[in-house]
């Protein structure tokens, strides 16, 4: 029997100096009789000002623990000065 298994197998906190971002890796694996036949990965980045509504509970908990108001302010200010 084939099974498609989707997991967030890596969540990293990366500091850019004044703020941090979360890098989230999602793995999609095709499993047959307990053996992984294939897998693929997708990555996305979560920044301090992102809406967390569609993120997993784990990503949301990490974001809420890491992102501060100061980080949000620094990130927002930097976006206005990006070239």
One digit per residue, the tens of pLDDT, for the chain of length 83 reads 899 999 999 999 999 999 999 999 999 999 999 999 999 999 999 999 999 999 999 999 999 999 999 999 999 999 886 54
Return left, alpha or beta for 34; rule: phi > 0 is left, psi -120 to 50 is alpha, else beta: left
Parse the chain into domains and list their residue ranges.
2-81
Global confidence as pTM? 0.85
């Amino acid at each position: 029997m084939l099974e498609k298994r989707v997991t967030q197998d890596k969540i990293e906190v990366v500091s850019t100096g004044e703020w941090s971002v979360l890098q989230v890796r999602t793995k999609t694996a095709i499993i047959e009789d307990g053996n992984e036949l294939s897998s693929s990965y997708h990555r996305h980045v979560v920044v301090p000002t992102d809406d967390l509504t569609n993120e997993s509970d784990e990503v949301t908990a990490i974001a809420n623990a890491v992102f501060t108001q100061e980080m949000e302010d620094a990130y927002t200010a930097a976006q206005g000065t990006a070239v």
